[in-house]
Amino acid sequence: MINTIVSGIRASGKLHIGNYLGALKQFVELQNSQSSQCYFFIADLHALTTPFKPQELSQNTLDVAADYLAAGIDPQKSVFFIQAHVPAHTQLSWIFESITPLGELKRMTQFKDKSKQHPENIDVGLLTYPCLMAADILLYKATTVPVGEDQKQHVEMTRIIARKFNSRFGETFPEPKTFELKPLRVRSLTDPEKKMSKTPHQNKFSTRQVGDDGAIFLDDKPEEIKRKFKKAVTATEGKQKSLGVENLFLLLEHFGTSEQKTFFAEQLKDNTIQFSQLKDTLATDIALYFKEFREKKKQLLAKPQEIIDILNTGAMKAQETAAHTIAEVKSKIGLI
């Protein structure tokens, strides 16, 4: 039985190594599984629920697309497209909004959190976000949705909406299961109490925005990676193994050699470790790991129309499946 997998990513900034380890690398592995049909899309409509600039949104969309392609997402194996290029997403979302109780949406954690973060930008889109996400998933009758811990509630809401629709109009949608991505929390280099972020956040000890220096982006040049690692925090109130140190060792686990892991682990245990040496090692290893990625992404962005053509082809494939689902839904709810 083919497992249908659906996942979207917001077009809200460049991808960093946390995004890669926590999601993108695993997506490539899922794509290469012969038992899976994968739909990967850039969620440009979801990006509208937080403050944005039109020019940045379009550039971010191309940038994320290039990241996915350079990292190994293959348009021949996966359906890769832009959310807004398939109008059925918003069609089905409106239908779901019409059967979803207001109270269910107000209880969503993301709505509560983002309302606090951006009190000046509490709009209807933020409230109905879960209905659009449910449409994203159910439009392709996904059986599995790869998510991190912070998205589990949205998948559960999708299951509730599917159950509600099926109960009222007849069996139509599967109730998708969550595929839990391997738990991974890559922290900001400059503020280890926070996750590494695509967008700048404020260090609690100052008013400076630290997102850019705290994150290693996938296309950062070697000298930029080295500069950022030099700023990486290692000491916290005199503790030997602070959150910053744990973060560096997490990165060493994924990008270092077995010899390097043993060497630095022994030094840490003996309290003889030189963090400058560890940082230099990580900078070199990560720069080398993403060398081919950087070259491929540069080539892709040099010909943006080719990226758009790939996304348009993916949208046509997605629309074929989406059209069948919409036709079935319309028939069941009585739309002519």
- Residue 157 identity: M
**Is there a contact between 179 and 170 (Cβ–Cβ < 8 Å)?**
no
Q: Tokens 């499946």 identify what position?
A: 321
Please give the structure tokens belonging to residue 208. Answer: 């400076």
Confirm whether 114 is a catalytic residue: yes
CA dist 236 and 72 (Å) reads 38
Confirm whether 269 is a catalytic residue: no
CA dist 121 and 106 (Å) reads 15
Confirm whether 116 is a catalytic residue: no
The catalytic residue among 25, 152, 194, 195 is 195
- Between CA 141 and CA 149, with CA 144 as vertex, the angle to 5 degrees is 130
The catalytic residue among 25, 77, 114, 141 is 114
- Between CA 160 and CA 66, with CA 39 as vertex, the angle to 5 degrees is 130
Residue 61 CB contacts under 8 Å (≥ 6 apart), including other chains? 11, 42, 44, 82
The catalytic residue among 14, 198, 279, 297 is 198
- Between CA 47 and CA 54, with CA 98 as vertex, the angle to 5 degrees is 20
CB atoms within 10 A of CB 312: 13
- Name the residues annotated as catalytic: 114, 195, 198
